[in-house]
Structure 1
Amino acid sequence: MSLSDLKHSLRKLEFPACSKEALIKIEQLLVGRAAPTSKQLDIAMEIISEFVFCDADRRGGRRGGGLNPLQELQLIDIICDYLSACSNETTKNTIFLSLFGGMENQRKLKILSILASMAVSASSTPVLLAVGVWLQQMGCSSPQSLQLVENIIRDHFYLNTTNLTALKSLASTAPQFVCNFITAVTELYMQETQKPIKLPPKNLLEVITFWVYSTPTLCMSAQLNAAALPSGAIPMAAVTPLAGLVRWCAFAPLYIDEDAEMLEIPPKKIKIEGERGALKTVKAQSESQLYIQLQLGLLQSLRAWRRRGPPAAVAAQRVTALLPAVREYAQRLLDRGCKINTDQKLQDCLDRIGQAVQVALANGCVYGNISSLLASLDTLPENRLLRIVIKTHQQAI
């Protein structure tokens, strides 16, 4: 069938029927034994623009207005149904990346954000796995990925009515998505360039802590499960969230006011199933306690790497990059006349860096210039654990 005949047949259908049929036609064009030709790719993009997102008219010009909110929801429902019914991962990712790759179009990003948020709400594994591949191919630190993740956080992690139990289950149902989601999230918070520093919302911290602590292999999911990509596609390297989590745990003592937060969090009362009307009072964890648990989960993840993956978990350069902020904090203490070797917050920060570096190096998780990393660590304020770690590994090089 020629392009003109294909378009003519689709134009006989009204929206949303034309979008549903267009997905089938796009699959026929792009999925096969060989990589699609440039002409087939161009045809698929034209069909997507005119019949899926309704951005273009029949002459290829931009159509004013695009989809209204109701039509956007109808399209999202069609895409969800298509992805859920697609049993072949390569086919599913081929169509998904064709629909949402590039993403210069803010309308598409808006639709993708709603789609991803709904998939999180419904725990839709097929959709979430496709979103996870999209995050990896776009780059978890790309502006588009960060915007998508911010929208998910806004929809699911700020409300007190959030169902955290459902969110926690995603680590087992869609681990690759969760892994890439965490990698992107760590780029949004606790960045030394932020003035003032931006902290993750407590619900988000609680869920990420649960994910990492309960599943030590989660942070390697994106690397151990290669994305099923279209023929001829260039796979983007999976970046683990471990370096970002090292930064979070190290910076937490410097920026979390433990006394204030403990007063803000009331006890939670929960009903234990099987006990007639009995209520059991459970004290909510403070943010400081969550970061302590997250640090332990991080160390468990680094230990698990030795058995499962190559030394590509933590880039030495990423750890080195967080050290200037620690030195600046120490300098501010000195400027105020404080003793840095007795400042508990600074020492906790240095302890956590030392713990993470020791476990990472001992388990072969670090890649890059390790000598440079150790030299940079040696410029930090005095800390007994760090000195032992530096001396031990400098002798081993």
Structure 2
Amino acid sequence: MSDIRHSLLRRDALSAAKEVLYHLDIYLSSQLQNASLSVGDKGCTDLLEEFILQVPKERNCQPKRLNSLQELQLLEIMCNYFQEQSKDSVRQVMFSTIFSPQGNKADDSRITLLGKLVSMAVAVCRVPVLECAATWLQRTPAVYCVRLARTLVEDYCSLLPGSIHMLKQIFSTSSRFCCQFITAVTALYDLSSDDLIPPNDLLETVVSWIFEDPRLILIIFLNTPITANLPIGFLELTSITGLIRWCVKAPLAYKRRKKSSLANGATGTKMGKENALGVDNDCHTLYSKLHLSVLQVLILLQVHLTEKNLFGRLGLVLFDHVVSLVEEINRLSEELNPLNVAQEMELSLDRLAQALQVAMASGALLCSRENLRTVCSRLPHNNLLQLVISGPVQQPSHAALPPGFYPHIHTPPLAYPGLPAHPVQTFIPGMTFPYRPIH
């Protein structure tokens, strides 16, 4: 590798970067064929960091910076490389070698270049790059994944008005990337502040994807071998928890944003207020559609968990996340004054109750109703939520339930021991979801 480096130092920046890609491809292809691949090879890492990421290895050595045109040319070269490389294993290893964080000073340059590459791949529809990015999102700590998601949102929802259609079109070309992108943006936009409310174009795009095909957000889960201990600090297997958070917190979060806008005079004119209210109304309709789609996905999960022999063993909606969501609702309520957000709070709690009910029935949420009652005890009263958490404390084992059956919420009345219990509600796979969402 040292001989290659000396040769590269005599080249211009773009030519050197192209040469590194060429040598890396030969080296990694050879290692794959010999089954002796070492992705973390020091020589490979040093070359790509110095000549592709432009991070100098010597203190007195000035990096060969790429100007804007050269950078665009490099991105095009990389897009074409991944497009033309016929072996998926080589593509994936090459992508991982270049863009997997190493915990060093080159990581900022690495993630910045990745964001530009994936953004270009979205614009020109380079499916191999998007597929590699989907795998990268699955295997990389979430802190880096949300940075990539933020870059794409800024490019297609902020910097280039009207370009959102480019992002929408990848739904029909790379469903794996769409699935992981949704998981990343729900991790990024948690509605904890006005700045972390998803932009309208992003919201409309995500809702249109999921409403058209609710199974989209299950693609990674259905095609990933499930281990006993899922890695900590990475994206969730599905975006279900994040989407539930969006639907439940949206009424209160948008109320808070409207209050902040009025206080700051951002919508000081009558026309501005009407426009702001119109946008919020459109968003509330989208959240209602999203809520329905999430409930449909939860129902589908029961079949898939049973097929994978994970029903009652793997909770895709973690109880700890439910606890956090309840705490966030309480904070929002206190911040906004419960007397002024009664309608919004009712809608949030109705959605929470529906999500909890269907998640428990489908096996996505594993917890006792006693624990659920304890967690929800500080929430304002809500009839539907009270119905959901008022079931028996002791539940039969999920594993003992036949597939397709909903566990009892209420035990038969003790005053009528001779009467048979009501039949358990059965959900038939493939049927349209029989309930309407809370509007």
- Please report the TM-score for the alignment, with normalisation by the length of structure 1: 0.79
Q: Distance in 1 between matches of 2:323 and 2:224?
A: 28
Q: What is the distance in 1 between the residues matched to 2:357 and 2:272? A: 30
2:346 corresponds to: 347
| Pair 1:369–1:55, CA change in 2 (3 A) | farther
In structure 1, what is the equivalent of residue 330 of structure 2? 327
CA deviation after TM superposition for structure 1 residue 170, in Å: 2.0
Report the RMSD for the aligned CA atoms in angstroms.
3.5
Judge conservation of contact 1:261–1:286 (CA < 8 Å) in 2.
no
Question: Structure 1 residues 172, 317: closer, same or farther in 2, change over 3 A?
Answer: farther
Uncovered stretches (5+) of structure 2, i.e. residues with no partner = 226-231, 259-269, 397-439
Match of 2:63 in 1: 64
Which amino acid in 2 is paired with 1:224?
L
1:135 shift after superposition: 2.0
Q: For 1:261 and 1:323, locate their aligned partners in 2 and report how far apart those are by CA, in whole Å.
A: 33
Which whole-Å deviations, capped at 9, do the CAs of 1:64-102 have from their partners, x for residues lacking one? Answer: 353222222122111111111123332212111111111
Q: Does 1:51 align with 2:62?
A: no
CA gap 1:71/1:164 in 2 versus in 1, 3 angstroms: closer
Residue 109 of structure 1 and its aligned partner are, at CA, apart by: 2.3
Asked if 1 retains the 8 angstrom alpha-carbon contact of 2:349 and 2:382, the reply is yes
Counterpart residue number, 1:117:
119
Post-superposition CA distance 1:323-382 (Å, at most 9, x none):
11222344467x67x398xx2211110010111111111111125787634531243221
Deviation at 1:290? 0.7
Matches for 1:229-268 after TM superposition, within 5 Å: 238-257=236-255, 263-264=274-275
Structure 1 residue aligned with 2:133: 131
Q: Match of 1:126, as an amino acid?
A: P
* SS of alignment partner, residue 313 of structure 1: coil
- Between 310-319 and 161-170, report the one with greater CA deviation: 161-170
Paired amino acid for 1:222: I
CA gap of 1:369–1:108, structure 2 versus 1, over 3 A, is: farther
In the alignment, residue 65 of structure 2 is paired with which amino acid? Answer: G
- Once residues 247 and 260 of structure 1 are traced to their aligned partners in structure 2, the CA distance between those partners, rounded to angstroms, is 31
Q: How does 1:175-194 map to 2 (within 5 A)?
A: 175-192=175-192, 194=193
Same amino acid, percent of matched pairs: 29
Distance in 2 (alpha carbons) for counterparts of 1:378 and 1:117: 45
Contact 1:137 1:236 in 2 (8 A): yes
**Structure 1 residues 385, 63: CA separation in 2 closer, same or farther (over 3 Å shift)?**
same
Q: 1:82 to 1:60 in 2, by over 3 A?
A: farther
Alignment of 1:74-223 (within 5 A): 74-102=73-101, 104-105=105-106, 106-140=108-142, 142=143, 144-158=144-158, 161-192=161-192, 194=193, 196=194, 198-223=196-221
Letter in 2 for 1:114: K
User: Secondary structure of the residue that 2:209 maps to in structure 1?
Assistant: helix
Of 15, 18, 28, the residue aligned with 2:16 is 18
Deviations 1:185-244 (A, max 9, x none): 12232443x3x56321111110011112111111122222349xxxxxx99675321111
2-side partners of 1:236 and 1:146: how far apart? 10
Distance 1:161 1:41 in 2: 42
Give the letter aligned to residue 358 of structure 1: Q
The residue type equivalent to 1:136 in the other structure is Q
> 351-360 or 368-377, which moves further after superposition?
368-377
Preserved CA contact (<8 Å) 1:347 1:383: yes
1:306 to 302, 307, 315: 302
How big is each residue's C-alpha offset from its partner over 1:9-58, in whole Å with a ceiling of 9 and x where there is no partner? 655755434333322322333341424248x711211221233334336x
1:375 equivalent in alignment to 2:374? yes
Stretches of structure 1 lacking an aligned partner (at least 5 in a row): 228-233, 268-282
Amino acid aligned to 1:327: N
Q: Distance in 2 between matches of 1:260 and 1:298?
A: 35
CA 1:36/1:236 → structure 2, altered by over 3 Å: closer, same or farther?
A: farther
Q: 1:325 & 1:236 partners in 2: Cα distance?
A: 22
Judge conservation of contact 1:305–1:365 (CA < 8 Å) in 2: yes
Distance 2:160 2:5 in 1: 48
- Aligned residue pairs total 364
Work out whether residues 254 and 345 of structure 1, in 8 Å CA contact, stay in contact via their aligned partners in 2: yes
User: 2-side partners of 1:69 and 1:380: how far apart?
Assistant: 53
Q: Tell me the amino acid that sits aligned with residue 155 of structure 1.
A: D
Paired residue for 1:362?
361
Q: For residue 307 of structure 1, what is the amino acid of its counterpart?
A: V
Instruction: Tell me, in whole angstroms, the C-alpha distance in 1 between the residues paired with 2:8 and 2:333.
Output: 66
AA matched with 1:97: S
Distance in 1 (alpha carbons) for counterparts of 2:74 and 2:368: 48
Partner deviation per Cα, 1:228-269 (whole Å, 9 max, x = no partner)? xxxxxx9967532111111110011113259999942899xx
Quick one: distance in 2 between partners of 1:368 and 1:184? 26
Task: Report the Cα distance in structure 2 between the residues aligned to 1:63 and 1:367, rounded to whole angstroms.
Answer: 56
**Structure 1 contact 223–238 (Cα < 8 Å) conserved:** no
TM-score with structure 2 length normalisation? 0.72
Instruction: Decide whether the 8 Å contact of 1:186 with 1:244 is kept in 2.
Output: yes
Cα separation, 2, equivalents of 1:365 and 1:115: 36
- Amino acid in structure 2 at the alignment position of 1:223: F
1:248-307, Cα deviation, whole Å (9 max, x unpaired): 10011113259999942899xxxxxxxxxxxxxxx9971111111111111112122222
8 Å CA contact 1:256–1:287 kept in 2: the answer is no
User: Greater shift after overlay, 7-16 or 374-383?
Assistant: 7-16
